[in-house]
Amino acid sequence: MTGPLLVADDLHLAFGPTRALAGASVEVAPGEVLALLGPSGSGKSTLLHCLAGILTPDRGEVRYRGTRLDDRSDEARSRLRRNDFGFVFQFGSLVPELTALANVALPLQLTGARRRAAEEQARSWLERLGVADVAGKRPGEMSGGQGQRVAVARALIGGPRVVFADEPTGALDSLNGELVMEEFTAAARDQGSSVVLVTHETRVAAYADRSVVLRDGRLTAAPAWA
Amino acid sequence: MNRPGRRGAAVLVVRLALTAVRRSPLPAVAGALVVALGVVVLLAGLSMHPTAQARGAADKAAMAGEFAADGEPGLLIAHSSGSYRDRPITASLVADTAGGGLVPPGLDRVPAPGEVVLSPAMRELWSDPGTTLAQRYPGRDVGTVTRAGLVGPGALVVWIGVDRDRMPETRVVTGFGGAGVADIADMPSELRLAVPLLVIGFLLPLVALFLTVATMGTAARERRLAALRLLGFSARHARLVAALESALVVVPGVVLGCLVFRLAAPVLAPHLPVRGGVWPDHVFFSLPVAAGLLVVLPLLGTAATWWALRRIDVSPLGVVRGAGDRELRRRRLLPLGAGCLALAGSAAAGHGADDVTLAGALLLAAVVLLLVGIVLAAPLLCRVAAQGLGRVLPGIPAQLAAARVRRDATGAARLVTGSALLVFVSGLLLSFFPLLETGNAAGLRALRDTAGGNLLVADVQLLDTAALAELRADPGVSGVARLTQVQISDGAGQGGPLITATDCAELSGVLPALGGCSAGSLLLAPADSDAKAVPLRTDGPLQAVTMVESADGGSLDTVGLGPLTTSEAPRTSEVLGSLDELTGGTIGLVDVSALPAAARPTAAGGTLLVRPAAGSAELERVRTLLTRATSAASVLTVDEQVAEAERTTQTYRDITLAALGCAALVGVLTLTSTLLQQVREHRRALVALWMAGMPRATVRAATLLQSSLVILPVVALSLVLGLATATTYLALADGGATRLPWAAIGVVAAGAAALPLLATALTLPALRTTTHPQLLPD
Ligand SMILES: Nc1ncnc2c1ncn2[C@@H]1O[C@H](COP(=O)(O)OP(=O)(O)O)[C@@H](O)[C@H]1O
Ligand SMILES: [Mg+2]
């Protein structure tokens, strides 16, 4: 398939009086790592949620592989999240009650895999990200860096077409953050997943193929260093 | 693979729910235990009516029920009631007429004269000489009354064989299954409205309990569900997980509750504080009911969870509370307003008693509307109270409490819903008590007031003169009097009214308050005081109407009375009126010395009054003497007669208080678990406050304040509405002559307000462990 994988076209979204998005447009190409930069409160997370079909814009449309996404049913969008998308958030993307291994195996099981096979694959992903030793621990019992690596493994295990990452290293120190970013982008490129990476740190954006900057809910020209 | 296999998804969903319960077992276990307790209470409530019916049937089965004319083969039976230290005794004299082969239930043969058959509990007392029961019911112990003849395992029953000619009763019994003793089924009409209220008062807290338990763990659950949604769980799937989780708590709770009831009820039944205890198999635990609970309660819980989550959109980003709160809140006041209008309408329709049916219907509608209205209006009230408090009280705890209530008024109000409804319903239920008191057993209570509660009253079956002489001579007896009835005529016709004949000297010894009764006197009740008082011309000679036996039956004759001093009792004297309660209504008293010999009392019939010596601790011994003197007649004190007459009332009162007690217990449990839940949910906020330097004492004060902020206004509202409804009801029922039992209502309201605070205080120690910085990261 040619052309962009994911398109946001003139999105508007307000939370009461707050205009979070005011005409944001962006395109994501297959296999591309795109950084969404911008100051805090500029609407980056909101745009990411719209692209992933979690939030529905007030106006404008989101197209995924050529068809509209924002007007699909909850069931259909849930199916997309199950089969085509992966997520890494700053906090709370893991199920707190499950172990790291169970968390990583979950996307495979959700798409019908048997538990044993899913856990086997999950274990190899944990190894690949260097956190095999926390397989039996629950999110509350891991360090921030370990938790984010587990979250990356879980986002990638199903071979998603797009991974949405919102400040994935926001809670980590810079050394740890760079290590996680390196492993994350390498693994994503390996299996050809596109990545939408939200961050306010230019250092993190350096791992992207391309950067766009959001200000007051709309995109501005790319910065000189991009 | 594009779709999760249906089975695979189901297995996964169950596994996730199980994991969640396993991960935080404490709330789950506590929830299951609370559900179990609720189920025990529910089963006890459900088995109350069938148990009462089974007891009524057992009672009936042992009573003479079919009769034949004199001379037929069968049994002669005289049942009577006695008592030993507040335990009722059923004593039955029995004589076999012609060997008809009929045997009373529970006996293997009819005791011959001089023999007694005892129930096991009776034998225990009877064989202890200290009880004097072997003298009261003398005879040779020849057998045991078995289960067929006993209402409960502890029933005190004695069958006494007597000679035919010593038998006061002449009707021949040819079968059993007579009229049973009054039970809840024979409810006075004043109580009809109370039954649905009682059921509501009983069920409401239970329902509140199940809903609370079912929707427990909301915050943790919401976080978990959001994480699952991100992975592609649809909203429906997420709700399914939540519903399953609640079922995982409710189902074991129901099973445990059924099991506990099934095992404990038979063990406890014989010791229940009701007449004779309860046979274990009279406590019904029907499998269909248990199975029904096992289906209905989890369904209820699941539905509640589903509903609770429906209002808040579980989005992959977490939980978004439904918008449009403000419009919703205005509409919430509608049922309350409609209820108040219905109440006012009922009061207006009932005023002057124009239309009692309409007023009654409006009142019932008002009760239902107000119940719903209180629940719906509670969050609004809490929020208004929070706003007011935030403005009035300056301290940090008040600010914090007000802010928390304002943020989630609906959640805060859930805390108090149960108590509020309880206050409303109990206000209504308690207002029935005084109403009952005005109706039931008024005469007997008047007798108690004038004659004292310990006066022994015996219906004479057949007087044993030797035993009577022994009774009179006994040092434990301060007075004995006998009342009989004589028909009296002023000569105008053969018929005439009944008058009570007594020995005035003796009666004055028993009832010192009675004046105007002396040798040769005729004391008439005030002529217009009572419809029963038949005018009697006292200026001419009076005659007693007597029965003359002859070969071809009997005929009536009149014999002149001796010299009389006639007086009319002062209208203020209630003693004479209260004597009517014993004699069944006469126009007054005549001294026995004025009666001609033909009209003097014989050995049978009448009433014996015995006053035990003041402060006599030997009531039971005196009762034994009196029972023997009257051939095992019913011998009860006035107090016991009042209790007997008020048994239905008493049953109602006991049931009401038990229901309120259970409701309160369940309520405290619900509250405590809800509060603990809230503490857990606010853990992060609490830790943050503590880390920001707020002392734990302030956090505690804020928590207590928060509870009272919610509780006091809502309980006050329910109290006011409950009282208004009760007042309207009383005005309808008896024109407002009855006063509300303010004290009892006040106690209930105070209790309802105190219980949540108590529950809050109970949860305060939990704050200590929750405000720990290590709990901050998720
Ligand atoms: N659920 C929400 N309710 C109200 N306002 C919101 C919500 N989510 C975001 N906002 C507001 O929208 C704006 C953009 O938010 P966000 O997209 O999270 O910014 P960013 O991720 O760039 O920091 C902010 O002003 C934020 O306060
Ligand atoms: Mg953001």
Whether B707 and B415 have beta carbons less than 8 Å apart is answered as yes
Assess if residue A136 is contained within a domain.
yes
Mention every residue, 6+ apart, whose C-beta is less than 8 A from residue B620.
B84, B85, B131, B132
Comparing CB atoms, the residue among B19, B23, B230 nearest residue A93 is B230
Distance CA B737, CA B745 (A): 18
Q: Which residue has the higher pLDDT, B591 or B193?
A: B591
Instruction: Say what the pLDDT of residue B769 is.
Output: 57
Mean pLDDT confidence for B155-181 = 78
CB contact under 8 A, A113 and B5: no
Find the residue in B nearest to A140 (Cα): B778
Which of B4, B236, B778 shows the shortest C-beta gap to A111? B4
Tell me, what amino acid is at A35? A
pLDDT at residue B180 in the model = 47
Q: Do B232 and A80 touch (CB under 8 A)?
A: yes
Query: According to the model, what pLDDT value does residue B172 have?
Result: 82
Residue A91 to residue B778, Cβ atoms within 8 A: yes
For a pLDDT cut of 70, what percent of chain A falls above it? 96
- The more confident residue out of B193 and B24 is B24
Per-residue model confidence (pLDDT) at position A20: 92
B231 contacts in chain A (CB < 8 Å): 81-82, 87, 106-107, 110, 154
Nearest residue, CB atoms, B227 vs list A82, A93, A109:
A93
Cβ count near A76 (within 10 Å): 12
Considering every ligand atom shown, identify the ligand nearest to the alpha carbon of residue A41 and give its number. Answer: 1
Q: Residue B353: its pLDDT value, please?
A: 60
Residues of B in contact with A79 (CB under 8 A): 2-3, 232, 234
Q: Which residues of A touch B1 (CB under 8 A)?
A: 111-113
Give the CA angle between residues B750, B756, B757 to the nearest 5°: 85
Alpha carbon of A72 to ligand 1 centroid (Å): 23
Q: Do B236 and A75 make contact, defined as CB atoms within 8 angstroms?
A: yes
Buried b (16+ CB within 10 A) or exposed e, B343-374: bebbbebbeeeeeeeebbebbbbbbebbbbbb
> B338: pLDDT confidence band, cut at 50, 70 and 90?
very high
Closest-CA residue, ligand 1 atom 18, reads A45
What is the mean predicted confidence (pLDDT) over B643-655? 70
- From chain B, the residues in CB contact with A49 under 8 A are 317
Check if A18 has its Cβ closer than 6 Å to any atom of ligand 1.
yes
Q: What percent of chain B has pLDDT over 90?
A: 5
Q: Give tens-digit pLDDT for B253-267.
A: 889 999 999 899 889
DSSP label of B148: G
Interface test with B, best of A77, A110, A121, A137 (most B CBs within 10 A): A110
Question: pLDDT, tens digit, for every residue of A37-58?
Answer: 999 899 999 999 999 988 889 9
pLDDT, greater one: B659 or B500: B500
Separation CA A220–CA A38 (nearest Å)? 10
pLDDT digits (tens, 9 = 90+) for B375-432: 888 888 888 888 887 777 766 677 777 777 777 777 777 777 777 777 787 777 777 6
Would you place residue B778 in the very low, low, confident or very high pLDDT band (cuts 50, 70, 90)? Answer: very low
Q: What is the pLDDT of residues A114-126, one digit of tens each?
A: 888 999 999 999 9
The DSSP bridge pattern shows strands B172-176 and B607-612 to be unpaired
**Residue (of B470, B484, B469, B478) closest to B510 by Cα position:** B478
Instruction: Quote the minimal CA–CA distance from B672 to chain A in Å.
Output: 25
Contact A106 B20 (CB under 8 A): no
Confidence of residue B116 (pLDDT cuts 50, 70, 90): very high
Give the pLDDT band (50/70/90) at residue B570: low
Q: What does the pLDDT read at residue B11?
A: 73
Of A73-82, A160-169, B269-278, B309-318, the one with minimum mean pLDDT is B309-318
Q: Is the pLDDT of residue B103 over 80?
A: yes
Of chain B, the percentage scoring pLDDT greater than 70 comes to: 73
Question: Across chain B, what does the average pLDDT equal?
Answer: 75
DSSP B171: P
Q: Is residue A226 part of a domain?
A: no
Which residue among A12, A18, A49 is best mutated to probe the pocket of ligand 1, counting the most ligand atoms within 8 A of its Cβ? A18
Q: Which residues of A touch B (CB under 8 A)?
A: 49, 54-55, 74-75, 78-83, 85, 87, 89, 91-98, 102, 106-107, 109-114, 138-140, 154
Looking up residue A78, the CATH number of its domain turns out to be 3.40.50.300
* CB pair distance less than 8 Å for A91 and B226: no
Tell me how many domains chain A contains. 1
Is A91 a member of any domain? yes
d(CA B75, CA B171): 9
Contact A153, A190 (CB under 8 A): no
Determine if ligand 1 sits within 6 Å of the CB of residue A20.
yes
Highest mean pLDDT: which range of B451-455, B601-605, B615-619, B681-685: B451-455
Q: For residues B162, B168, B171 and B176, what is the CA-based torsion angle, rounded to 10 degrees?
A: -50
Residue with more model confidence, A22 or B29:
A22
pTM above 0.90, yes or no: no
Look at residue A1 and tell me if it is in a domain.
no
pLDDT given for residue A65 in this prediction: 92
Inter-chain touch B232–A93, beta carbons under 8 Å:
no
pLDDT at B686 (0 to 100): 65
The chain B residue lying nearest A156, using CA atoms, is B231
Question: Rounded to whole angstroms, how far apart are CA atoms B211 and B222?
Answer: 17
Query: What confidence category does residue B140 fall into, taking pLDDT thresholds of 50, 70 and 90?
Result: very high
Q: Which residue of A has its CA nearest to B220?
A: A96
pLDDT value of residue A51: 93
Report for A4-18, B14-28, B552-566, B645-659: range of highest mean pLDDT? A4-18
| CA atoms of B227 and A95, how far apart (whole Å) | 5
Q: Smallest CA–CA separation between A150 and chain B, in Å?
A: 14
Between the alpha carbon of residue B596 and those of residues B501, B546, B563, B766, the distances in Å are 12, 10, 11, 87
Query: What DSSP line would sit under B18-39, residue for residue?
Result: HHHHHHSHHHHHHHHHHHHHHH
- Taking contacts as CB-CB distances below 8 angstroms, the residues of chain B near A90 are none
Cβ-defined contact of B227 to A49 (cutoff 8 Å): no
> Which amino acid residue places its CA nearest to atom 26 of ligand 1?
A41
pLDDT in tens, B218-250: 566 667 777 777 787 777 777 777 777 778 888
Residue of B26, B231, B248 best to disrupt the A interface, most CBs of A under 10 A = B231
* Closest approach atom of ligand 1 to CA A42: 22
Of the residues A111, A146, A166, the best mutation for testing chain B's interface (the one with the most B CB atoms within 10 Å of its CB) is A111
Per-residue pLDDT at A223 exceeds 70: no
Residue B700 has pLDDT above 50, yes or no: yes
Distances (CA, A) of B591 to A226, B12, B516, B611: 126, 94, 11, 20
Task: State whether the beta carbon of A44 lies less than 6 angstroms from ligand 1.
Answer: yes
Name the more confident of A186 and B508. A186
Judging contacts by C-beta atoms under 8 Å, the chain B residues touching residue A55 are 317
**How far, in Å, from the CA of B234 to the mean position of ligand 2?**
24
pLDDT in tens, A73-103: 888 888 888 889 998 887 757 877 788 998 8
**Is residue B1 pLDDT above 60, yes or no?**
no
Q: Which residue has the tokens 């009911």?
A: B289
For B691, what's the count of Cα atoms within 13 Å in the CB-facing half-sphere?
Answer: 14
Highest-confidence range of B24-38, B310-324, B555-569, by mean pLDDT?
Answer: B24-38
Residue B110 has pLDDT above 80, yes or no: yes
Among B365, B456, B477, CA closest to B640: B456
The Cα–Cα gap between A203 and A167 comes to: 12
Please name the residue whose Cα sits nearest to atom 20 of ligand 1: A41
**B541 pLDDT higher than 50:** yes
Going by C-alpha positions, the residue among B491, B600, B603, B569 that lies closest to residue B536 is B491
What are B145-160's pLDDT values in tens digits? 998 888 889 999 999 9
User: Which pLDDT band, with edges at 50, 70 and 90, does B308 fall under?
Assistant: low
Q: Which residue of B has its CA nearest to A86?
A: B231
Q: pLDDT tens for residues B447-472?
A: 788 777 888 888 887 788 888 888 88
Query: How far from B481 is each of B442, B469, B477, B586, CA to CA, in Å?
Result: 23, 12, 11, 17
Rounded distance between C-alpha atoms, residue A216 and residue A41, angstroms: 8
Q: Which of A5-9, B47-51, B141-145 has the lowest mean pLDDT?
A: B47-51
Task: Let me know the angle formed at the C-alpha of B656 by B650 and B658, rounded to the nearest 5 degrees.
Answer: 100
Q: Residues B597-611: what's their mean pLDDT?
A: 79
Residue pair B722/B427 in contact by the 8 Å Cβ criterion: yes
Taking phi over 0 as left and psi of -120 to 50 as alpha, with beta for the rest, B452 belongs to left
Can you give the pLDDT at residue B340?
Answer: 93
Give residue limits of the domains in chain B: 1-60+183-322, 64-176, 324-439+656-778, 442-645
Report whether residue A45 contacts ligand 1, using a CB cutoff of 6 Å: yes
Q: What is the per-residue pLDDT for B96?
A: 83
Q: Which atom of ligand 1 is nearest to the CA of A38?
A: 22
Confidence of residue B67 (pLDDT cuts 50, 70, 90): confident
User: Averaged over B659-682, what is the pLDDT?
Assistant: 70
Predicted local confidence at residue B244, as pLDDT? 79
pLDDT band at B184 (very low <50, low <70, confident <90, very high): very low
CA A170 to chain centre: 13
pLDDT in tens, A170-204: 878 888 888 889 889 998 999 899 999 998 888 88
- pLDDT over 90 at B640, yes or no: no
pLDDT tens digits for range B36-65: 887 887 788 777 777 877 887 887 887 777
Residue A18 CA to ligand 1 center (angstroms) comes to: 8
For the segment B79-89, what is each residue's pLDDT rounded down to a tens digit? 888 888 878 88
Atom 3, ligand 1: residue with shortest CA distance: A15
Query: Which pLDDT value is given to residue B533?
Result: 45
Domain that holds residue A184: 6-220
Closest listed residue to residue B704, CA positions, set B281, B374, B485, B397: B397
Nearest-angstrom CA–CA distance, A77 and A54: 8
Cβ pairs bridging A and B (under 8 Å): 92
